[in-house]
Structure 1
């Protein structure tokens, strides 16, 4: 079976009984646009017939759309016509997004850009400015005269037919096109469906970007696979007014939602008492938390803030996944709640997970549903026993075909074999351990900071630093080589909201961060660089780009507010910058 066959069967089964509804917040009033499953299928068939008429079979098409129903219809239209859809952020005026889109066009051999009429002019001008207008055509599908849905003919689509490409967000490397097949889509949607309790009907609510794996697979495609309704808004609307997300859950009686950790944190911090008073979140039984480290503080803050409104700690469903495995690898089953355990910090630095009553807290990311997960020493390729930290390896039907036109990278990542020859496995590049069947993720291999033989996880440093003062935001921790005499140093680049410093100075806050990290992690020699908001590099999905932030620091390109440099750290390691003050000055 192909994913197209599944979608068409669901459209036949539910017709106008199930639907997708895009919700817009207009000065506190919710405006709705809706497509039923039957209407969505008709629109997809029209788009598919049009693409087939352009002889686009097995060609790539870059989809640059704002949030809404048109993207979903066109994405399915690409599947219907065996066109390889490449979802990507709408670049608009962000230079980094423009560079990313240009890189994808060249990497994926794109000749057709699909968008809506509101953005066609801007994109056409941009293609001309970068010299691609002669090779790439930009078409607005919402005003295009399309054939009727009955003009569509089902092409030959097998389970291993390439369905679409998901470009990775590039937190530790250049974005790569992950090749996903129809079989990958079907299998991972089945994994998600089983995690949420295999419902025969249900309501989902979300706002995630449609161009990321979590938004596309976990939010947009799951309802038509499972046969449920979806109400969704734009990411911009959520960021501007986070209460909108919770109001939608309350209004539409949603049973499940999906989001990264920062979104729940944003709600706990920004939703007002008046807004909380009007909520009823008791319908929510499954709140997936994934795509970035799950923080225990966030779990507790949400229950504390919204418990009276019906948000239950049993709704928490931490999960682990990645684009190379379509999306979900492990998940917490519905109704179980998050599993939080404490582990000895010193043992974790030695890559051992030893439970300890007064240790650091880690949140379990659930268990494999049907995928096979191993923890493997990346050097010896020996499979580690439970409680040992090493690289997470994965095998199963959700694992992608590989990276587009990158044979060497595909071989390295997708063809892993253990010391005894078992495989192939997807090598995730993530560190973690299994304990009592539960997967705990501790960080990225490339991000681990090694100081005097100790393995420090940057997210632990970053989280501890953020708790020091309410003015502190995103952070990136990394190690730098400071010369033979000084050795390696830990550097923390920390965003600060200067307006929120209150009676404290930037220098005082930076020194408090140094002191807290020295106390918690035994790091008497480290540097703290406070930067303006936006100074810490992030991917389009919000993940911290530590290596990019490090490069910007060394290239003197960060908007430095204040720097407390550790004794012995020279300007060759961290260049002198405006407002930078050596420690003790």
Structure 2
């Protein structure tokens, strides 16, 4: 029996692990009421092989397969089934009422030219309808929950695990495993190319950075259709022989203290979250909310996907010490969307074989230590470009991939400081650890109709941090109560459509965002005015207990206030 780390592709590594750990717990899926649905490696492997068998019936090797399922065992089986069959997985959220997600779904299906779709019975009709709207008619939609594991035509050994496929598909390290559409606006998403070799290189790197092992219980609320959640919190534990504990996303974005309790309740040992989540826990958690909380099992809490603040680490450690949080548990890391989910971790060094550089994006000159520039990366865990587009590795710099992240190098480690300015192809904001495209949010708010007009959204930090919405309203003479309801409507719409919390909502007079004609004030300009306290809103609403930037009079604002005019 080969150890999984010696296999030629991710599918063989996962099959080997399933045979070695047949009776062990692979998934602990949280269910309503606080319990868990527990799935063994043997059971998950059998489900995955049933999916793979059906995919092979449809000549799936090398073809793009859309995965549109709710998080859980069926989604895990669908992903593994694609890998087993040599297909290319294209994960998307299951269909919801979100218009922005529907646009993204359609754009991904069209851009990837998907050949098949995996979904579940509850979403099969809507998935087929959405595919037909973008010309992907006649595509087979397989309901994974309707496949019985015993339909897989493979022999089982005495442990209950399935034996390797007698006629495996030829999958090399260069074979494409995933198209990860983590970046780009809803109408023009970009699918990062992730190969089996990228995945295999990521696994030992994650083990080293997180300190994971077979007894780990790895979980968090990162979405399972985004690279970090899919690779770091599903494939990595399954490669290890550990247990994956995927937590639901929305409740923990809304209430980070509930996330702490979920970590304790499900005995999670390694997790990852953005800086804003840890900062909110430190700022918002009360003694009463933390009473009885036990975080002593937590060994590594990675702080990544956003610029990391040393003050956040200190505040989080101080606030949770009484709950048994060990010193040094919170570890800063860097994890761009286009690569394996972690490239560096504080004090633990970069991924072996990884080459990171910080360059001046205007002239591509390497920056010295301590000077901010754009982060460029290359190495075995890094994707080579995006689907359907020219390779966006920079051949003039030896095949480096541009991340669109700003950062600086110090002592051999990379620290993210923000995102590049608007106009860059990777233009996006990092909010609650995920990429959010400002044009998507602005378009959705414009759909709300009267009395809301044009909007501009940006982050309080340089491309990352709390989201700020500057929204024109046509009811300039509205009462405090009317404006308060409008601000609440904006918060709710952003949360429903994008799963993101809003740090500040500023309601302003017409002409503040959209000047004469069709000209809109650049986001960067409006952000500078905001930071200097020169945007005077009709009404300002701040998230509870969340502070505005220290620069300018905005830092002195109360949680809600009305003003008489705008700059």
For the residue of structure 2 that corresponds to 1:373, the secondary structure is strand
What's the counterpart of residue 419 of structure 2?
Answer: 444
Is 1:58 paired with 2:62? yes
Give CA deviations for 1:220-275 in whole Å, capped at 9, x if unaligned.
11111122122232213434654443233223433211122333345445655444
1:315–1:567 distance in 2 versus 1, CA, 3 Å:
closer
Gaps of 5+ in 2: 1-7, 156-164, 432-455, 462-466, 472-478, 522-536, 540-562
For the residue of structure 1 that corresponds to 2:396, the secondary structure is coil
Residues in 2 aligned to 1:584 and 1:261: alpha-carbon distance in whole angstroms: 32
What's the counterpart of residue 320 of structure 1?
Answer: 334
Is 1:561 paired with 2:565? no
What's the counterpart of residue 533 of structure 1?
Answer: 491
Gaps of 5+ in 1: 335-365, 450-456, 461-473, 480-491, 497-503, 510-528, 550-558
Query: Which residue of 24, 28, 37 maps to 1:21?
Result: 28
1:333–1:193 distance in 2 versus 1, CA, 3 Å:
farther
- The 5 A counterparts of 1:7-18 are 7-18=14-25
Residues in 2 aligned to 1:44 and 1:229: alpha-carbon distance in whole angstroms: 17
What's the counterpart of residue 414 of structure 1?
Answer: 393
Considering Cα pairs closer than 8 Å and 6+ residues apart, tell me whether 1 or 2 has the greater RCO: 2
What's the counterpart of residue 100 of structure 1?
Answer: 104
Give CA deviations for 1:150-176 in whole Å, capped at 9, x if unaligned.
075421111111111101232699311
What's the counterpart of residue 376 of structure 1?
Answer: 359
1:566–1:84 distance in 2 versus 1, CA, 3 Å:
closer
Give CA deviations for 1:55-94 in whole Å, capped at 9, x if unaligned.
1111111111111111011100000001111001223111
Using structure 2 for the length normalisation, give the TM-score. 0.73
For the residue of structure 2 that corresponds to 1:317, the secondary structure is strand
| 1:35 Cα deviation from its structure 2 partner | 1.3
* Equivalent pair of 1:329/1:369 in contact (CA under 8 Å): no
* Equivalent pair of 1:416/1:427 in contact (CA under 8 Å): no
- The 5 A counterparts of 1:411-490 are 413-418=392-397, 423-447=398-422, 476=458
Corresponding residue pairs, total: 471
1:417–1:562 distance in 2 versus 1, CA, 3 Å:
same
Query: Which residue of 16, 27, 31 maps to 2:35?
Result: 31
* Equivalent pair of 1:371/1:394 in contact (CA under 8 Å): yes
Residues in 2 aligned to 1:107 and 1:568: alpha-carbon distance in whole angstroms: 32
Residues in 2 aligned to 1:582 and 1:383: alpha-carbon distance in whole angstroms: 48
- The 5 A counterparts of 1:132-171 are 132=135, 134-144=137-147, 147-150=151-154, 152=165, 153-170=167-184
- The 5 A counterparts of 1:265-414 are 265-268=279-282, 271=285, 273-296=287-310, 298-333=312-347, 367-407=350-390, 410=391, 413-414=392-393
For the residue of structure 1 that corresponds to 2:180, the secondary structure is strand
Is 1:255 paired with 2:234? no
Residues in 2 aligned to 1:176 and 1:448: alpha-carbon distance in whole angstroms: 16
- The 5 A counterparts of 1:116-195 are 116-127=120-131, 130=133, 132=135, 134-144=137-147, 147-150=151-154, 152=165, 153-170=167-184, 174-195=188-209
Name which of structure 1's ranges 74-83 and 218-227 shifts more when overlaid on structure 2. Answer: 218-227
Residues in 2 aligned to 1:296 and 1:85: alpha-carbon distance in whole angstroms: 37
| 1:394 Cα deviation from its structure 2 partner | 1.0
| 1:444 Cα deviation from its structure 2 partner | 2.0
1:50–1:246 distance in 2 versus 1, CA, 3 Å:
same
